[in-house]
Amino acid sequence: MALYAALLYYPEDSYWTSPEEEQFSAGYAEFGQAAGAAGVLRGGEALHPATMATTITVDGGKGGKVVTSDGPYAEAKEILGGFYVIEAADLDEATRWAAQPPAAWRGKVELRPVVPMSGGAAQS
Amino acid sequence: MAARNKAYDTMRREAVRPAKETAAGWHLPAAIPDPAEEVTEMVEPESVVRDDMLRLVFTCCHPALALDAQVALALRTLAGLDVAAIARVLMVPQATMAKRLVRARQKIAHARIPYRVPTDAELDPVLVRVTGRDCQARKGDL
- Is A92 within 8 Å of B114 when comparing Cβ atoms? yes
- Residue A7: band (very low, low, confident or very high) from pLDDT cuts 50, 70, 90: very high
Looking at the complex, report in whole angstroms how far the Cα of residue A111 sits from the nearest Cα belonging to chain B: 9
- The chain-wide mean pLDDT, for chain A, equals 88
Q: Is the pLDDT of residue A79 over 80?
A: yes
Say which residue, A119 or A109, is predicted with more confidence.
A109
Separation of alpha carbons B13 and B7, rounded Å? 10
Q: What is the pLDDT of residues B84-123, one digit of tens each?
A: 999 999 999 999 999 999 999 988 998 899 887 777 777 7
Indicate if the pLDDT at residue B36 is higher than 90: no
Q: Is A3 strand, coil or helix?
A: strand
Residue A83 CA, chain-centre distance (Å), reads 2
pLDDT tens digits along B54-70: 888 889 988 889 999 99
Segment A18-34 mean pLDDT: 89
User: Which residue of chain B comes nearest to A96, CA vs CA?
Assistant: B122
Task: Write down the ipTM of this complex.
Answer: 0.70
Residues of A with a Cβ under 8 Å from any B Cβ are 2, 89-92, 95, 111, 113, 124
- CA-to-CA dists, residue A70 to A51, A55, A56, A120, angstroms: 8, 6, 9, 34
Residue B69 half-sphere exposure toward CB, CA atoms < 13 A: 18
Among candidates B4, B5, B111 on the partner chain, residue whose Cβ is nearest the Cβ of A91 = B111
Burial A78-100 (b: 16+ CB within 10 A, else e): ebbbbbbbbbbebbbbbbebbeb
| CB of A7 closer than 8 Å to CB of A46 | no
Give me the residue from A90, A113, A124 closest to B114, CB to CB. A90
The residues, any chain, with a CB within 8 Å of residue A77's CB and separated by 6 or more, are A11, A12
Would the pLDDT of A38 be above 80?
yes
The mean pLDDT of B27-33, rounded to a whole number, is 48
CATH 3.20.20.100 fits A2-113, yes or no: no
Domain ranges, ordered by start, for chain B = 2-141
| Selection from A40, A54, A50 nearest residue A93 by Cα | A40
Higher per-residue pLDDT: B43 or B68: B68
Report the residue from B4, B5, B64 with minimal CB separation from A91.
B64
Number of neighbouring beta carbons within 10 Å of residue B122: 13
Domain ranges of chain A: 2-113
Distance of CA A89 to the CA centre of its chain: 19
pLDDT band at A71 (very low <50, low <70, confident <90, very high): confident
